[in-house]
Amino acid sequence: MRKILLASILLICSACAFAQEKYLHISEISLSGNEKTKPQTILREFGYSAGDSISEDDIDKEIQNFTDNLHRLMLFNDVDVSYSADSAGAVAVEVNVVERWYYWVYPILEIADRNLTSYFYYKDFRRINYGVAFDWLNFRGRNEMLNFKVRLGYKEHYAVSYQKPNIGRRHWNGIWLKAEYFRQKKDIAYVSECKPIYADNAGQYIRNIIDVGGGYVLRPHVNYEFSLSLTYLNVRSRDSLLLAYTSEKQDYMVPSFSFDYDNRDSKVAPTSGLHAALGVKVFADFYANAFAFANLEMQYNTSIYQNRLYYHGTLSHRQFFGSYTAVPTNMRIELCRDNLIRGFDYYYILGQNFSALQNTFSVKLLDRCDFSLPRWIPKKFRQPYIQIFADLFADLAYCSNFAVGFKDENPLLHKPIYSAGAGLSFETYYDRVLKVYMAYNGNFNFFGVFVDYVTPIYKKF
């Protein structure tokens, strides 16, 4: 009798809860502005189709998620998603997008350093790359990417790559392929006191790299994806200084796995949302022992006060597994290239483990201000915008190494690494961001002015 009474109470409570939650019916989803982009490329980012039901309590959140997902595709200069509901609970969703320019044939003229600050600090003005590249974004309107590059100068780069997402009836699957060839007449031989020491053999090529591979991407949900890849990496070094710190021949098969979750409102300049990424690569050398490298990163962004004050926090960790002393110096340098906090732009922080916490508080000084350029300018470039933020930041990192026989001289091992500063960020269309900031480097005890210019094209590799 007690069991029957308890079951009845639970049934009544469930019925009441269901009755209180009102569901709406999506009657149609209309699109406008997508001259090149296929409808399924846009609709894939919603997670709902015409005919689906959606909770009245959730619809505002889902529409905002839809808008953020479309922004993260980086295919549109502007996105507007709205809806209307009638008395019968039928919902009509309207999506209006302003497409970007997708065919980029452009000359390459760029610095070969990590950023402008490093380039001017080392004062080697030969470190310039130049050439030509062709990027076909949103190829065939399906968010595919086709890329060709011929780059000469300091670090020559010849490349072809292709990405294809949204394969299959559910658009869950994707693939990417690449073939790249690099060669240099000057390169970093080793790092001393956190500064790079270069090898240069009178204008002769001293390092050649072949990097060929492909991968599979599974995206069962609009906000996260899994990726498996396999690449072949061939490195040949010829200079005597290089060979003092690395072997002449390096051949790696590199299987990798990654997981990525992203619900931010932008990939480049987010003001809300969470990004979490985990990646593991195994480098199996044909001539020596294998080693593995893993990286974990979490980024959290939120509005603190009335869409005017924002907090951005990034927590990251990178770690080598296996015999760290068996890792060639050039691979240590390459894999530790992102061991960086603000104010340390000149330095390479090499170590077996590296953890960092970066905190930024941003105040919006100028709300998004749109401009209309003359009609003779192509439509895709006619409506730029700018918004400006003032940033206040404090970064903390820790680098450790427990391998015996470690060659690199790193005075920052096993001690706090910290910096703080303030600056300005200028954001405009096509996800271009210019950052100018002053930072105090706590470990080397100096103030510096740093410049960082972001011109992103996101790839799967």
d(CA 301, CA 265): 9
Domains of the chain, first to last? 2-99 (3.10.20.310), 103-454 (2.40.160.50)
DSSP per-residue letters across 377-418: S-GGGS--EEEEEEEEEEEEEEEE---TT--SB-TTBTSEEE
Query: What DSSP line would sit under 354-385, residue for residue?
Result: EEEEEEEEEEEEEEEEE----TTS-GGGS--E
Q: Is 138 helix (H, G, I), strand (E, B) or coil?
A: strand
Instruction: Write out the DSSP string of 19-47.
Output: HHS-EEEEEEEEEES-SSS-HHHHHTTTS
Rounded to whole angstroms, how far apart are CA atoms 226 and 215?
11
Q: What is the 3-state secondary structure (H, E, C) of 266-299?
A: CCCCCCCEEEEEEEEEEEEECCCCCEEEEEEEEE
Q: How many CA atoms lie within 13 A of 129 on its CB side?
A: 20
In terms of Cβ atoms closer than 10 Å to its own Cβ (0-12, 13-18, 19+), residue 9 is exposed
Whole-number pLDDT of residue 145:
94
Query: pLDDT truncated to tens, each residue of the chain (461 aa)?
Result: 555 555 555 555 555 444 456 888 999 999 999 999 999 999 999 988 888 898 888 899 999 999 999 999 999 988 999 999 888 889 999 999 999 989 888 787 776 666 666 666 666 667 778 889 899 999 899 999 999 999 888 788 999 999 999 999 888 999 999 999 999 988 889 888 898 888 888 778 999 999 999 999 999 999 999 999 999 999 999 888 888 888 889 999 999 999 999 999 888 888 899 999 999 999 988 776 678 888 888 888 888 877 789 999 999 999 998 777 778 888 989 889 889 899 998 899 998 899 999 999 999 999 988 888 888 888 878 888 899 999 999 999 999 986 655 545 688 999 999 999 999 999 988 888 899 999 999 999 999 998 887 665 444 44
- Predicted pLDDT of residue 114: 65
Residue type, 419: S
At residue 255, the 3 state secondary structure works out as strand
Burial 252-270 (b: 16+ CB within 10 A, else e): bebbbebebebbbbbbbbb
- Can you tell me the distance from the alpha carbon of 150 to that of 235, in angstroms, rounded to the nearest whole number? 19
The letter for the amino acid at 161 is S
292 close to 317: Cβ distance less than 8 angstroms = no
CB 205 within 8 A of CB 237: no
241 and 192 Cβ atoms separated by less than 8 Å: no
Q: Are strands 195-200 and 416-428 parallel, antiparallel or unpaired?
A: unpaired
**159 touches 377 (CB < 8 A):** no
Predicted pLDDT of residue 460: 41
- Sign of the four-CA dihedral 25, 27, 30, 36: positive
DSSP H/E element including 166: strand 155-167
C-alpha–C-alpha distance, residues 32 and 323, integer Å: 56
Cα 208 off chain centre by: 26
Q: What's the token pair of residue 131?
A: 């050439």
Tell me whether residue 371 is exposed, middle or buried, using C-beta atoms within 10 angstroms of its C-beta: 0 to 12, 13 to 18, 19 or more.
exposed
Q: What is the DSSP string of 71-122?
A: HHTT-EEEEEEEEEE-TT-EEEEEEEEEE---EEEEEEEEESSSSHHHHHHH
Q: How far apart are CA 438 and CA 397, in angstroms?
A: 18
> What is the amino acid identity at position 446?
F
Q: What is the DSSP string of 323-358?
A: -GGGS-HHHHHHHTTT---TT-TT-----SEEEEEE
Q: How far apart are CA 291 and CA 439, in angstroms?
A: 35
Strands 155-167 and 173-184: antiparallel
Phi, psi of 326 (to 5 degrees): -85, -5
Q: What is the pLDDT of residue 112?
A: 67
Distance CA 39, CA 49 (A): 12
